Amino acid sequence: MRALTVVPLQPNTLALSNVEEPVARENQILARALALGVCGTDREIIAGHYGEAPEGADRLIIGHESLSEVVSAPLPGAI
Protein backbone atom coordinates (compact mmCIF):
# COMPACT_ATOMS: atom_id res chain seq x y z
CA MET A 1 0.00 0.00 0.00
CA ARG A 2 1.07 3.62 -0.33
CA ALA A 3 1.53 5.99 2.61
CA LEU A 4 2.89 9.46 3.32
CA THR A 5 6.13 8.95 5.26
CA VAL A 6 8.95 11.04 6.72
CA VAL A 7 12.34 10.39 8.29
CA PRO A 8 11.69 11.68 11.83
CA LEU A 9 13.62 14.79 12.91
CA GLN A 10 14.92 15.33 9.35
CA PRO A 11 13.11 18.27 7.71
CA ASN A 12 11.45 17.93 4.30
CA THR A 13 11.83 14.17 3.85
CA LEU A 14 8.14 13.70 2.99
CA ALA A 15 7.62 10.92 0.44
CA LEU A 16 4.83 8.77 -0.94
CA SER A 17 6.21 5.35 0.00
CA ASN A 18 5.22 1.76 -0.60
CA VAL A 19 4.76 0.07 2.78
CA GLU A 20 3.59 -3.38 3.87
CA GLU A 21 -0.12 -3.96 4.33
CA PRO A 22 -1.03 -4.02 8.03
CA VAL A 23 -1.96 -7.34 9.58
CA ALA A 24 -5.07 -7.77 11.72
CA ARG A 25 -4.01 -8.54 15.28
CA GLU A 26 -6.01 -10.03 18.12
CA ASN A 27 -8.24 -7.52 19.93
CA GLN A 28 -7.53 -4.71 17.45
CA ILE A 29 -9.54 -3.09 14.70
CA LEU A 30 -8.10 -3.12 11.18
CA ALA A 31 -9.30 -0.19 9.06
CA ARG A 32 -8.75 0.83 5.42
CA ALA A 33 -8.24 4.56 4.86
CA LEU A 34 -10.53 6.06 2.24
CA ALA A 35 -9.49 9.72 2.63
CA LEU A 36 -6.64 11.32 4.54
CA GLY A 37 -6.11 14.75 6.05
CA VAL A 38 -2.81 16.42 6.88
CA CYS A 39 -3.04 18.70 9.91
CA GLY A 40 -0.77 21.11 11.76
CA THR A 41 0.85 18.28 13.72
CA ASP A 42 1.79 16.55 10.46
CA ARG A 43 3.26 19.82 9.13
CA GLU A 44 5.43 20.11 12.27
CA ILE A 45 6.62 16.49 11.84
CA ILE A 46 7.42 17.20 8.17
CA ALA A 47 9.42 20.25 9.31
CA GLY A 48 11.48 17.95 11.55
CA HIS A 49 10.32 19.36 14.90
CA TYR A 50 9.48 15.96 16.39
CA GLY A 51 8.37 12.43 15.60
CA GLU A 52 9.59 8.90 16.09
CA ALA A 53 9.47 5.91 13.73
CA PRO A 54 8.19 2.59 15.06
CA GLU A 55 10.80 0.17 16.39
CA GLY A 56 12.76 -1.35 13.49
CA ALA A 57 11.57 1.26 10.95
CA ASP A 58 13.41 4.23 9.43
CA ARG A 59 10.30 6.16 8.41
CA LEU A 60 7.14 7.33 10.17
CA ILE A 61 3.73 7.17 8.47
CA ILE A 62 1.85 10.45 8.91
CA GLY A 63 -1.75 11.50 8.40
CA HIS A 64 -3.70 10.48 11.49
CA GLU A 65 -6.88 12.27 10.40
CA SER A 66 -8.73 9.88 8.14
CA LEU A 67 -12.06 8.58 6.93
CA SER A 68 -11.82 4.80 7.07
CA GLU A 69 -13.86 1.64 6.75
CA VAL A 70 -13.52 -1.21 9.23
CA VAL A 71 -12.01 -4.30 7.59
CA SER A 72 -12.06 -6.52 10.67
CA ALA A 73 -12.89 -6.11 14.35
CA PRO A 74 -12.86 -8.29 17.46
CA LEU A 75 -16.04 -10.12 18.34
CA PRO A 76 -18.25 -8.30 20.87
CA GLY A 77 -17.03 -8.96 24.40
CA ALA A 78 -13.57 -10.09 23.22
CA ILE A 79 -11.77 -6.98 24.49
According to the model, what pLDDT value does residue 70 have?
A: 93
* 23 — pLDDT class (breaks 50, 70, 90): confident
User: What CATH number labels 2-72?
Assistant: 3.90.180.10
* Helices within the chain (DSSP H only): 40-46
Q: What residue type is 71 in one-letter code?
A: V
pLDDT at 24 over 60: yes
Return mean pLDDT, the chain: 91
| Dihedral pair phi/psi, residue 41, rounded to 5° | -60, -45
According to the model, what pLDDT value does residue 78 have?
A: 56
pLDDT at 43 over 90: yes
According to the model, what pLDDT value does residue 54 have?
A: 92
